[in-house]
Amino acid sequence: MDMGTYARLCYLLHNVWRLSDSKYVKLKEMVCFFLTILAHHKKNRIVKFDLVWSGHTVSIYFNAVIISLLKLHPIFLVTPKSVDDECNVARWKSFKGCLGALDGTYIDVQLPLLDKPRYRNRKGGISVNVLGIVERNINFVYMLPGWEWSAADGRVLHDVVNRPNRLKVPNGQYNLCDNGYMNCPRFLAPYQSVRYHLDEWSKGCRAPQNAKELYN
């Protein structure tokens, strides 16, 4: 997390949920307790020595931050609305019942030496495979981090729909996905072996030439 993101997180916690400085601990320090434990898997007793606070203080403000952060859920994740007959946006109106689109991305992380081989990407960096789903206005609906870089897209999606707090897609609705995923109920992929990347299209002979290319 860079300093800009850290500052925005503190701003949201203070201005939306009114989490503020206490008599002895400033808000930025509270968030520091929280992120140190969450991101680096450090124990309370380690953090209290690193940041020179008592274990009781670290515990209190870790819980204060996580409770406030969970209550920001409506800001970070929205409830999608499927495309209906009233939609007049050209790129969406043909996809009645569509909730949004999903794809995977990679986020760099720091890991113990023994875990690094599973998370090493093709460029040599260490990253996790994160699946995200957004609705039509590019607001996040669902996110699943944690899978190693080498995990196939289909394997990650299988986990998404089968874990206890799984993604639930109502009957008759679906999410769009790319060719890295299988075309199946509730997840609609492009036609196989038909171009679909944006950089493959242009005017003239490079415009869509048939119904399948137009769909993609």
Task: Count the domains in the chain.
Answer: 2
Domain region containing 59: 3-74
In a domain, 67, yes or no: yes
Q: Are 109 and 127 in contact (CB under 8 A)?
A: yes
Give the DSSP H or E segment for 170.
none
pLDDT value for 98: 94
Q: What is the pLDDT of residues 104-130, one digit of tens each?
A: 988 888 888 888 888 888 788 888 889
Judge whether residue 183 has pLDDT over 90: no
Which value, to the nearest 10 degrees, does the dihedral of the CA atoms of residues 127, 72, 70, 97 take?
A: -70
38 and 129 inside one domain:
no
Instruction: Provide the pLDDT confidence category of residue 185 given band limits of 50, 70 and 90.
Output: confident
In a domain, 207, yes or no: yes
The model's pTM: 0.71
Closest CA to 130 of 100, 108, 113, 111: 108
35 and 118 inside one domain:
no
128 and 199 inside one domain:
yes
166 and 115 inside one domain:
yes
157 and 108 inside one domain:
yes
Judge whether residue 41 has pLDDT over 80: no
65 and 133 inside one domain:
no
118 and 169 inside one domain:
yes
Cα-based distances in Å from 77 to 65, 81, 83, 134, 136: 18, 13, 18, 9, 13
In the Cβ-directed half-sphere of 52, how many Cα atoms lie within 13 Å?
1
In a domain, 86, yes or no: no
63 and 149 inside one domain:
no
Boundary of a domain, candidates 42, 74, 106: 74
Question: Tokens 């992929």 correspond to what residue?
Answer: 189
Q: What is the pLDDT of residues 57-105, one digit of tens each?
A: 888 888 888 888 888 888 888 888 899 988 888 888 889 999 999 999 8
